[in-house]
Chains A and B, each alone.
Chain A
Amino acid sequence: MKKFTLVLIILMMSSVSYAEIRLGALFSTTGPASFLGMPEKQTLEMLVEEANKNGGINGEKIELYLYDTRGIDAEARKKFIRLVKKDRVDAVIGPTRSGSTLAIKELAGKFKMPLISCASSDRIIEPINPFVFKVAPSDMFAVRKIYSYLKDNGRKKVAIITAQNGYGDSGRTALLNEAEKMGIDIVADEKFRDNDRDMTAQLTKITEKNPDAIICWGVGPAPAIVAKNYKQLQPEAMLIMSHGVASKKFIKLAGNAAEDIILPAGRLLVAEKLPDNNRFKSMLVKYKNTYEERFDSSVSTFGGHAYDAFQIFKKAYKISVKENIEMIKAIENIKGYLGTYGEFNFSQNDHNGLDMDAFIMLKINNGDWELIN
């Protein structure tokens, strides 16, 4: 009996000492969405390092398994399966892109792997999959913000040009659906692909319809080319981008063509310019300064998604251990968490937790972001 107890104790000890938290992550650190994925990767690595320095979560160190999806949906799938089957992680943060998230959505359910996505498409949480969450605000909110702004400025005739990928698709659906409800008239509906180099054909078709505003929905270098081509054609319309380009890299690529572009974005980009009594300001400024100091590049709202995802994972992990419930139930119980994009209130029916308040309208002025009212 003594021998048995001894063996049992040793086994228990060894299982405890090998206990560690395995966190998986999938980001598009290269490819067309790299200026979303890279800040996400850097932020997550920075946060995990900081957490481990302070003893990890509940005293357990975090082991991070991070893969590059290269912006390709099929690659995200491959690497997700690897995270589940080979690396055996406890949860996965990411992917960066909507298309990639949708490609692994049902896999997450099949493998019972909690997935906290940094992508924005509504289809990620509709229909709800118990294992799939997202921390990026819905495209629907961004669209409503844009349309409100346009109506306030008396512009109702709108042309849309969207990317042919999961994100652009989602944006397009939101743009078309909300237009009717908000009295906006869509006069043109064009598309482009991530790797297209010349959009003058589409923009020419658009300018022929004389819109008041052109809304471009995409990520990566392509919207920058749209901006350049737009500038060359000199239409009367206002150019509006989506939050997919809320990064200094976009301004760099588009150069002069970025001036006067209007877009919805998270408060993080103008953290310092917020009024002091804003309840998000101190946390945003802290993240911004830490990030910019460490990586010598401007903070982006995409890094903010990774920030939020990790904090939520951390909170949920603690709750799930303390109350002995599953991770996914723990996430659903999170309320009132102040994140980079707004206040998160999860529930069984709401796997996003944000509302329209997540976005503010910005204008690009002199190569920098400016708050507009």
Chain B
Amino acid sequence: MQFIYSGITSGSIFALVALGFNIIYNTTGIINFAQGEFVMIGGMLIYTLLSIYGLPFLIAAPLALIIALFLGALFERVFIKSVRSPNEIKLITITIAASIILRGLGMVIWGRNSLSVEAYIPYKILELPAGTLTSNSLLVIIVSLITAFSLSLFFKRSSLGKAFRACYDDKVAASICGVDVSKIRMLAFGIAALLGVIAGIVTTPITYVAYTDGIMTGLKGFAAAILGGLGSFWGGVAGGLLLGIFEGFFASVFPSGYKDAFAFLIILAVLFLRPKGLFGKKKAERL
């Protein structure tokens, strides 16, 4: 049953990425193809802050998060806002362009090789029924859960969060009520970047980070979002965890090379059979 533990670990990362997709999708209707690149940047940032500047983790991590918010907002202004007369094709392709640029920047700034960071907490192996879990993996799971809960509290309780939800439901009505839709969009990207960077920070001690990591992470995160139902908050979390577990199970049964294909089979299966996903929302239109 080892695959359940490694599945939940990788699934937590997918969940965070899926949340990022959902927030942007709900606020703007855009699918951000560069979401995976935020994860890569997260890993690169923490590497730079820890290994190059030698900052202690308790300073480096919050700093990375603040940079993430800023980067996300910048991303929105530079790429999304500047597209005049936006239509669906333009918006999809501009995020693709953004992901290429971010990848290229990653390569130029940090090189082509895999970079590693030291574990943030002492390395321990936890013996669990039918398997083991490392302390790093446990950290990934716990951080992801805390992030998801905090985010959902933010949306439920805070006034800013309520403004977000107003935008989800009806942009025009929200702006009539005084919600600054433009600012909310910027914030949405900021939060999505934040989620990506958190994922990048916790996963790097385990999997290292390289400039190409964003592609697969983004695609699998998107698969998780679709599985759970595009736009659904807890759907994204559930989708992520389920995808991780199924993928792990798949890898233990079939030759492991096919593992990657699995996420894409899921995308196809969901899109063809049940586009709303498991917990889909009203926004899932096919037409």
**Which residues of A line the B interface, CB within 8 A?**
30-32, 34-35, 70, 164, 190-193, 195-202, 204-205, 220-221, 224-225, 228, 231-234, 252-253, 255-256
Contacts and interface: CB of A to CB of B under 8 A. Distances in A.
Nearest to A253: B116
Given A195-B212, A200-B6, A204-B3, A232 B125 contact: yes
A255 B117 CA distance: 10
Interface stretch (B78-86, B229-237, B248-256, B267-275): B248-256
Interface in B219-272: 248, 251-252, 255-257, 259
Contact of A30 (B113, B134, B208): B113
Nearest to A252: B116
Given A30-B113, A31-B112, A232 B256 contact: no
Nearest to A197: B207
Contacts of B212: 195
Contact of A201 (B114, B125, B208, B259): B259
Contacts of A164: 257
A234 B132 contact: yes
Given A34-B112, A232-B125, A233-B132, A201 B207 contact: no
B65 to A, nearest CB: 23
Interface string B196-219: 000000000011101010000000
Given A193-B257, A195-B212, A201 B248 contact: yes
A191 B256 contact: yes
B10 interface: yes
Nearest to A32: B114
Nearest to B254: A201
A201 B252 contact: yes
List the 4 closest pairs (A to B, CB-CB), nearest first.
Answer: A30-B112, A201-B251, A197-B207, A221-B114
Interface string B170-209: 0000000000000000000000000000000000001110
Contacts of B111: 30
A320 B97 CA distance: 53
25 contacts: A30-B111, A30-B112, A31-B113, A34-B113, A35-B113, A70-B112, A190-B256, A191-B257, A197-B207, A197-B208, A198-B207, A201-B6, A201-B251, A201-B256, A204-B2, A204-B252, A205-B252, A224-B208, A225-B207, A225-B208, A234-B125, A252-B116, A253-B208, A255-B116, A256-B123
B10 to A, nearest CB: 7
A200 B2 contact: yes
Contacts of A221: 114, 208, 210
Contacts of B123: 256
A223 B134 CA distance: 18
B134 A232 contact: yes
Contacts of A220: 114
Interface string B123-146: 101000000101000000000000
A198 B208 CA distance: 11
Contacts of A228: 206
B203 to A, nearest CB: 8
A253 B47 CA distance: 13
Contacts of A70: 112
Contacts of B206: 197, 228
A182 B208 CA distance: 38
Contacts of B251: 201-202
Given A198-B6, A198-B10, A253 B114 contact: yes
B181 to A, nearest CB: 39
A365 B6 CA distance: 29
Residue picked from A30, A35, A191, A200, most chain B C-beta under 10 Å:
A200
Contacts of B134: 232
Contacts of B118: 255
B83 to A, nearest CB: 33
Contacts of A31: 112-113
A40 to B, nearest CB: 15
A274 to B, nearest CB: 31
A191 B125 CA distance: 25
Nearest to B112: A30
Nearest to B212: A195
Contacts of B257: 164, 191, 193
B192 to A, nearest CB: 22
Contacts of A196: 256
A192 B256 contact: yes
Contacts of B252: 201, 204-205
Contacts of B112: 30-31, 34, 70
A197 B208 CA distance: 8
A48 to B, nearest CB: 24
Contacts of A201: 2-3, 6, 248, 251-252, 256, 259
B9 to A, nearest CB: 8
A114 to B, nearest CB: 29
A232 B207 contact: no
Residue picked from B112, B248, B256, most chain A C-beta under 10 Å:
B256
